[in-house]
Amino acid sequence: MRFQDLLDLHDIPHGDVALCLHKPRDPVARRALAILVEERRDLLEAYQSTHSSGAEATVRARSYFASFLMQTPGEVVFIAAYRREVGRVLGEQDWLGDPLRREMLERVGGHIAPPEARAETRLGRTLFHLERIDAFVECEKRLVLRDPGGRNYIRLAETTPLDVIELRRSARLSPPVPEWSDLALTRAELEILPRDWATTLRNWRGVYLIVDETDGARYVGSAYGAENLLGRWRSHVAGEVGVTVALRRRSPARFRFSILELVSPTAQDVDVIACEASWKTRLDTLRFGLNEN
């Protein structure tokens, strides 16, 4: 069976469908897109509503739009099918003055470049209005297909066969919570975590590391209390600058958070602080980092 068989079932001509295969090479961007599918459909539609010039021409010529996301190499997961309407051309104010589009630029790719720089490359794009087709909703996030390969992310349905691998029992795209030692989160990811990730971080306490990716500077901190790591990390990125003396001289936009050591959920505050002091000494962040005596 192929995805094209579903199009036939609903009398949608293959030649009238643009396929959008989201396959970001950057794992942070790929994970961000998966979370948008789960948590923020409005931002996902903002992301899909404009395209580069070559891709735009294909989308403009077709009345339907079907999107997919790569989770693992060799496979793509069906996100949704849409009816497409052509809108207006977007200018600078449409990108930076519109809260939704600006937030989208921060969420997907914001760890690479600020919204202003990314908006500049998107001036003059056509806005496409996408209306989800109800008949395909039952397959969303469940239908797994074989990646047809190729580099172009906008493809033609009549020349791009999508073979079905499986129909999952549950509809979920966001990945499970990784082991604490493998976890690394950007500011954008912290602000739109899957619910189970947020719950886990709320229950974890310990010592963490912040790396400012603009220059590699490091800060060691500790988290304990009602919100534990979730609360502490989100406090670091809540404003336009950091929350400590050294971090207040920096924007949190390029902060990356990871965990150095987990402690027991019942550990006393004094024990967590002692672990923090040990890590500051071992990483020498008092002399060569962003910690201060």
Q: Are residues 95 and 158 in the same domain?
A: yes
Rounded distance, CA 48 to CA 26, Å? 17
Q: Are residues 206 and 280 in the same domain?
A: yes
Could you tell me how far CA 59 lies from the centroid of its own chain? 23
pLDDT of residue 90: 92
CB 263 within 8 A of CB 206: yes
- 163-180 pLDDT per residue, tens: 999 998 888 887 788 899
Q: Which of 109, 142, 167 lies at the terminal end of a domain, its last residue?
A: 167
Number of domains the chain is built from:
2
Q: Which of 167, 198, 219 lies at the terminal end of a domain, its last residue?
A: 167
- 254-269 pLDDT per residue, tens: 899 999 999 998 889 9
For the chain, residues with pLDDT lower than 50 are none
pLDDT of residue 189: 86
Of 82, 71, 74, 66, nearest in space to 30 by CA: 71
Residue 246's domain comprises 180-288
pTM listed for this prediction: 0.75
Q: Are residues 146 and 256 in the same domain?
A: no
Q: Are residues 266 and 144 in the same domain?
A: no
pLDDT of residue 240: 83
228 domain-assigned? yes
Say which residue the tokens 């087709």 belong to: 133
pLDDT of residue 173: 80
CB 59 within 8 A of CB 127: no
pLDDT of residue 266: 85
pLDDT of residue 38: 86
pLDDT of residue 77: 95
pLDDT of residue 165: 96
Q: Are residues 228 and 189 in the same domain?
A: yes
Q: Which of 139, 167, 195 lies at the terminal end of a domain, its last residue?
A: 167
Q: Are residues 101 and 39 in the same domain?
A: yes
Q: Are residues 162 and 201 in the same domain?
A: no
